[in-house]
Amino acid sequence: MIFKKKFIKESTSENAFKAICFVAILLPILLIIVLIGDALIDGWSRLNLDFLLGLPSRKAEIAGLLPALMGSFYLMLLTAAIAIPLGLGAAIYLEEYASESFLTSLIEINISNLAGVPSIIYGLLGLEIFVRMSHMGRSLLAGACTLALLLLPMVIMVSRESLRVVPKSLREACFALGADRFQTIWKVVLPMSFPGALTGIILSMARAIGETAPLITIGALTYVAFLPDSIHSAFTAMPIQIFNWISRPQKDFHINAAAGIIVLLLVMLILNALAIWLRARLQRKVYW
Amino acid sequence: MHNRLWMMLVLILIVGFSSCKKKQDIAGFVKIDGSSTVFPISEAVSEEFRNQKDAKTQVTVGLSGTGGGFKKFCSGETDISDASRPIKPSEVELCQNNNIQYIELPIAYDGLSLVINPKNTWATSITVAELKKLWEPEAQDKIKKWNQVRPSWPDKEIHLFGAGVDSGTYDYFTEAIVGKEHSSRGDFTASEDDNVLVQGVSTDDYALGFFGLAYYEENKDKLKILALDDKNAANGNGPVAASVATVMDGTYQPLSRPLFIYVSIKSLERPEVRSYVDYYLSKASHLVGEVGYISLSDKAYDLTRQRVEKRISGSLFGGRGSQVGAKIEVLLEQSL
């Protein structure tokens, strides 16, 4: 800093701007505190190992989250396995191979538009294409394909963003050394952009884990007292179980719902922390 | 360059799916879907079935709503369909087209409670005719104040709350009150989630709403019940308020309704489905009360068992959808 702080006189307009910015940050934080605090107060008493490892039940006190938790876990694993290769591939094509043309800009506009389509539309699409036409039934695979479809535009966009960060000079240097396009992408561009892409992908997965509408549309079930045993297995997921508990008349189930919300938030927090950790860890290895 | 990371990812996937692939010892499966009203009963029975009788059969219960459930049932996707109203003509036709034969089994009663805000001091009861005047399609934009329903009530706006139009609850209410299934005014607050309706009525002094009796029973401190008078002495004289007792003895009319499960006859040939249905009927009278509904008489459960035994297909209601004031026992006996 060149100037010491005391030499700069803060004007009133500066102060006002600061105040507005402060309110802008305060409101979301307050909102989050109220939300989490409310869930914690309601659900804390039910948060224990039995709740995490229990099966659904008509008795709120012994009802557990295990099938929903594992359902969400497998769903995310499968979704990632489908969405990451496809999304990364599409991003590499658009950034590295495709030439500027009317067609590519049309594709680009469509991808950004698709990212804004309501998730229930993807649910309806998934119901028709995966559940009915591809005869996957109401299985984990159909759910994962639908969620992958939902994530794809976002994955493509964050991947492209991170590919774009790699300086053009590096690519040119690579070509100058005699590498072909594949070698340049595989050895230079991808390793450098991967941490950024991965972070974005994990963040969008954290969004997908809370999605309810598309799963309900494709017909994820509500009472499932077993764990998925294959990708064709019936399944339930955390948001669906929470939704079901909230709509029950008995207050005890609402406590379960609050506890379920806390678990869901925790899983999201873990995913986000993982994203930050991966980025920090991987970026250290890249030398510019 | 990032070989370690790739290996880690691959490892996670392999571990994930191999733990996923472990085949359990499965004896079979029973697929149930349908009404969210009936869901708690099917959930309770499935839980007990797993704990007491057969842990190897995988029972799954979904809640697509009565209509959504029948769509899946009639295309052969499910074995049992939960329903909060009898099957409709369009659904009968769909089942016929796909050659799905079914047995209709009444398993419980539910009452639709009429509720108002506790701050409402003027209303204690309402007649069916007044309700019809209030809810029929012609009332839209016309009947907007309490004193238009009954002149002695105040000149204040009336705010209506009711079940979402895709639910069997809405179908039954409109059939019982308006006289035509699925037909009512559209300017009311509708929600598939009854807790939203409870919230709405309990915070609005001028509200009037209807929803399942269980939701009133759980929120008695926040709501006031409105007694219903059907002007029919055979169902008890004067206004009757919804309660477990009045639904069970048949005096709370016309807003008491039976709940059903529909079982596919083809699925019934599978031993696990058969044993599940038998278990359902033997435990229903005990379990429906536990989850907030009202059980049928023991005789009625006996009759439903015979219905399964004799594989009597079709609906007790002639496939015409909701019917009001039906005496389940009588209908069951006639059908055997």
Q: Rounded CA gap, B163 and A114, in Å? A: 33
Of the listed ranges A7-11, A261-265, B164-168, B262-266, the one predicted with least confidence: A7-11
In CATH, the architecture of B111-256 is: 3-Layer(aba) Sandwich (3.40)
d(CA B109, nearest CA chain A) in Å = 16
Identical fold for domains B27-109+258-335 and B111-256, yes or no, is: yes
Q: Specify the number of domains making up chain A.
A: 2
pTM of the entire predicted model: 0.83
Q: Are A12 and A125 members of one domain? A: no
Residue A96 maps to which CATH number?
A: 1.10.3720.10
For B287, the closest chain A residue by CA position comes to: A58
Residue spans of the domains in chain B: they are 27-109+258-335, 111-256
pLDDT digits (tens, 9 = 90+) for B223-241: 999 999 988 877 777 899 9
Q: Please judge whether B20 and A56 are an interchain contact, meaning their C-beta atoms are less than 8 angstroms apart.
A: no
Task: For residues A101 and A24, state if they share a domain.
Answer: no
Note whether A266 and A134 are same-domain residues.
Answer: yes
Q: How far is B24 from chain A (nearest CA, A)?
A: 7
**Among all residues of chain A, which has the CA nearest to that of B47?**
A57
Show the domain range for A39. 2-46
Rounded distance between C-alpha atoms, residue A58 and residue B108, angstroms: 16
| pLDDT at residue B21, as a whole number | 45
Do A155 and A221 fall into the same domain?
yes
Strand-strand pairing, B57-61 and B28-34: parallel
CB of B139 within 8 A of CB of B323? no
Contact B197, B114 (CB under 8 A): no
Q: Residues A40, A56: one domain?
A: no
A222, A225, A231 ranked by CB distance to B47: nearest? A225
Q: Is the pLDDT of residue A5 over 60?
A: no
Residues A155 and A216 in one domain: yes
**Alpha helices, DSSP H, located in A166-250:** 168-176, 181-183, 190-208, 213-218, 238-246
Residues 6+ apart with CB under 8 A from B247: B109, B110, B111, B213, B256, B294
| Residue A22 shares a structural domain with residue A152 | no
> How does residue B20 score in pLDDT terms, banded at 50, 70 and 90?
very low
- Residue A209 and residue A72: Cα distance in Å, rounded? 7
Same domain, A127 and A180: yes
Q: Are residues A138 and A242 in the same domain?
A: yes
Question: Residue B184, by phi and psi: left (phi above 0), alpha (psi -120 to 50) or beta?
Answer: beta
Q: Who's near B166: CB < 8 A, 6+ residues apart?
A: B65, B67, B68, B192
Q: Say if B5 is an interface residue toward chain A (CB within 8 Å).
A: yes
Task: Please judge whether B47 and A57 are an interchain contact, meaning their C-beta atoms are less than 8 angstroms apart.
Answer: yes
- Do A211 and A159 lie in a common domain? yes
Helices H / strands E in chain B, number of each? 14, 11
Distance in angstroms (rounded) separating the CA atoms of residues B257 and A83? 47
Decide if pLDDT at B11 tops 80: no
Q: Which of A81, A221, A244 minimises the CB distance to B60?
A: A221
Q: Give pLDDT, residue B25.
A: 52
pLDDT tens string B133-173: 999 999 998 999 999 999 999 999 999 999 988 788 898 99
The reply to whether residue A229 touches residue B24, judged by beta carbons under 8 angstroms, is yes
Q: Which CATH superfamily is domain B27-109+258-335 in?
A: Periplasmic binding protein-like II (3.40.190.10)
Distance CA A267, CA A71 (A): 13
